[in-house]
Structure 1
Amino acid sequence: MSAPDPLADRQEIRDRLASYCHGVDRLDLDLVRSVYARDGVDHHTGFSGTADEYVAWLARGLPRLDGTMHILGTHLCELYGDVALSETNGTAVHWGSPPDEPALNFTTGFRYVDRWVREDGSWRIAERFAVREWTRSDAGRRRSAEAGGPTGHRDRRDPWYVQRAAVLGDLGLAED
């Protein structure tokens, strides 16, 4: 068995956090679920339950929005063998139609307080507390782009997936 590598463990946890945010923002709920342990639990504003229940809750709620964007900031991570604790500050922007509806257009400041476990050789969230520190209404503040250009999509038409498929194709690798 190899010696623990704290830098690699911390990086994997950061990568999992980014994968979670990418999954939520792109509506890739299989990716969101993959970040949680088999018996993982999540506590969000308006929700508390198992990871499977949380993903089902997201599947019902996220399509009401036109999009979300999660931005991660300060990250603290403590490692204890095959268990870790992390606190990650972030901002999440939510937008929907109509643009003047406060329930669909808001920004939140949050902290993810996560207990991680190493499961099948990978770090997974055993329990998450998504602590909402503040919320600001963005209703009526959104405006259209000033010119044409790339736009995001919450499916495989998104530039991320298009570029990923091109890179994997160039490398002769099958997309997973």
Structure 2
Amino acid sequence: MVVARERSQWWDRQQIHDVVLRYCRGIDRLDFELVRSAYHPGAIDHHTGFDGTVEEYLAWVEPRLRARRGGTMHIVANHLVDLYGDEAVSEAYGISVHWGEPADSVRANFTSGVRFVDHMTYRDGRWAICERWAVREWTRSEVGRFVPKEGEGPSGRRDELDPLIVLQRRIASRRAGS
């Protein structure tokens, strides 16, 4: 349930931060509806190897990520937001880690320093990206650096058995039953 609240600079900044985090979770968990929710319809995205609308971006990135046996992890660090009423410039520094097969492929196993430079707007009661520049500052190969886990324990997955999805469903089911 969405609760209407009065906007403030703090609230706007928090909502914008959540947009950036939703995008990262969506990409890392292969939840492309969550990725889509970070953008306004018709938004533009500029990534390494891609320029186009958000729908074109999703059609481009989804098969690439689904074909990868491995995963990605986007870590957000510094985040600064300049507010201009119903528009904002958001700059989030981060690290994007990619791993996959073949294990000796530098294209499947790399880490990049990134900045998400976003033009965000507040429309239809929500903040979302209307144009994004995913700026790759540096990239290094991780070939030969990944090692197996040292023992049994939870592992990230990119399907309905990921611990996050299991927990979300458990709580939603319990709430629906009450």
Q: TM-score range by the shorter chain?
A: over 0.9
Corresponding residue SS for 1:134: strand
Check if 1:54 corresponds to 2:38: no
Structure 1 distance, partners of 2:55, 2:64, is: 14
Corresponding residue SS for 2:176: coil
The equivalent residue for 1:75 is 79
The equivalent residue for 1:126 is 130
Q: Which runs of 4+ in 1 moved over 3 A?
A: none
The equivalent residue for 1:145 is 149
Query: What is the letter of the counterpart of residue 93 of structure 1?
Result: V
Could you report, residue by residue, the CA deviation over 1:101-128 in whole angstroms, capped at 9, with x for unpaired residues? 1110000000000000112110010000
Check if 1:163 corresponds to 2:171: no
Query: What is the letter of the counterpart of residue 27 of structure 1?
Result: L
Corresponding residue SS for 1:172: helix
The equivalent residue for 2:47 is 44
Check if 1:31 corresponds to 2:62: no
Structure 1 distance, partners of 2:11, 2:100, is: 38
Query: TM-score scaled by structure 1?
Result: 0.94
Query: What is the letter of the counterpart of residue 92 of structure 1?
Result: S
Query: What is the letter of the counterpart of residue 81 of structure 1?
Result: G
The equivalent residue for 1:90 is 94
Structure 1 distance, partners of 2:176, 2:35, is: 27
Paired-residue identity, %: 48
Corresponding residue SS for 2:105: coil
Check if 1:117 corresponds to 2:121: yes
Query: TM-score scaled by structure 2?
Result: 0.93
Give the deviation of 1:3 after TM superposition: 5.7
The equivalent residue for 1:135 is 139
Aligned-residue CA RMSD (Å): 1.7
* Structure 2: tracts of 5 or more residues without a match: none
Structure 2 distance, partners of 1:64, 1:74, is: 31
Query: What is the letter of the counterpart of residue 161 of structure 2?
Result: R
Structure 2 distance, partners of 1:172, 1:112, is: 37
The equivalent residue for 2:9 is 6
Structure 1 distance, partners of 2:8, 2:37, is: 22
Query: What is the letter of the counterpart of residue 121 of structure 1?
Result: G
* Structure 1: tracts of 5 or more residues without a match: none
Structure 1 distance, partners of 2:49, 2:13, is: 29
The equivalent residue for 1:100 is 104
